[in-house]
């Protein structure tokens, strides 16, 4: 399987999320796909307490659920517009603070957080290494870290690849025949998706002890675009297999929790 690295610059990511901030503030938090991820995160945090660093908090959709469990929260994001919505959304909550920060260079003292949640961030970085190093630095020994990354092996990913190998060349050929072919090729962009079974080893290499894992978010292109109601029913059915190694790989997101190894 080819190596993937994110080709997005941080400025591109920030600009894109600034433009999507209103959607994240009004709709994303109600998405069943997002809510399913949050439920998995909360189950991984069961019996935990203390101060959480929420890396990539976006418009703060998960903050209310975390605060309801008694956690104090510091949310960071690289998008100023996302933070504006997050602050507005959480203005009535105590124990919640936000600031703009880079996930690869966190402006916090070492061992200053009890736990870290990092959802939907790593795929936009060219390598996971620097972010994991920073998470390891700021979380206390024994603290729990939870990450979520899209996978390279989901059915949605495979269906997109099949489409790119079949329908896309056919469409380009038709455009060429109609005289609409352009010699200029767009730059291929992609996320830095993970291979799930490599994540535990990666976490160990960065000083963590893996605890649990799950999959979430059944997507299947192009059903989501052509038949949304059926797509939702498929998602609801498949989500029950989120903890299954045999079937879970078909889902689009991989979530893993790990504890920082106590200093010897």
At 87-133, the pLDDT tens digits run 999 999 999 999 999 999 999 999 999 999 999 999 999 899 999 99
Number of domains in the chain: 1
* H/E element, 114: strand 113-119
Q: Is residue 237 part of a domain?
A: no
pLDDT above 90 for 235:
no
Q: Is residue 159 part of a domain?
A: no
**14-73 confidence digits (pLDDT tens):** 898 999 999 999 888 888 889 999 999 999 999 999 999 999 999 999 999 999 999 999
Q: Is residue 136 part of a domain?
A: yes
**186-207 confidence digits (pLDDT tens):** 334 468 889 999 999 999 999 9
Task: Give the domain range for residue 24.
Answer: 10-151+191-217+252-260
Q: Is residue 82 part of a domain?
A: yes
Q: Is residue 141 part of a domain?
A: yes
CATH of the domain at 86: 3.40.50.150
pLDDT above 70 for 2:
no
Write down the pTM of the prediction: 0.85
Q: What is the pLDDT of residue 60?
A: 94
């Amino acid at each position: 399987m080819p190596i993937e690295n994110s080709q997005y610059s941080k400025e591109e990511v920030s600009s894109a999320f600034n433009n999507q901030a209103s959607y994240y503030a009004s709709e994303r938090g109600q998405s069943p796909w997002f809510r399913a991820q949050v439920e998995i995160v909360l189950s991984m945090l069961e019996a935990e307490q203390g101060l959480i660093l929420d890396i990539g908090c976006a418009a703060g959709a998960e903050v209310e659920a975390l605060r309801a469990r008694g956690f104090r929260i510091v949310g960071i994001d690289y998008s100023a517009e996302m933070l504006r919505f997050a602050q507005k959304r959480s203005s009535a909550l105590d124990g919640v603070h936000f600031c703009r920060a880079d996930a690869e260079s966190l402006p916090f003292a070492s061992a200053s957080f009890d736990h870290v949640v990092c959802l939907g961030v790593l795929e936009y970085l060219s390598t996971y290494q620097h972010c994991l190093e920073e998470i390891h630095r700021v979380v206390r020994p024994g603290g729990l870290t939870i990450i979520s990354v899209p996978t390279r092996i989901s059915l949605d990913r495979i269906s997109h690849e099949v489409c790119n190998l079949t329908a896309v060349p056919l469409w380009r050929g038709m455009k060429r025949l109609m005289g609409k072919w352009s010699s200029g090729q767009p730059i291929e962009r992609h996320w830095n998706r993970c291979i799930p079974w490599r994540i535990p080893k990666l976490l160990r290499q960065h000083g963590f002890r893996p605890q649990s894992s799950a999959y979430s978010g059944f997507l299947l292109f192009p059903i989501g675009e052509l038949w949304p109601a059926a797509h939702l029913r498929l998602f609801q059915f498949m989500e029950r297999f989120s903890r299954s190694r045999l079937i879970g790989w078909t889902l689009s997101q991989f979530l893993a929790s790990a504890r920082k190894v106590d200093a010897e």
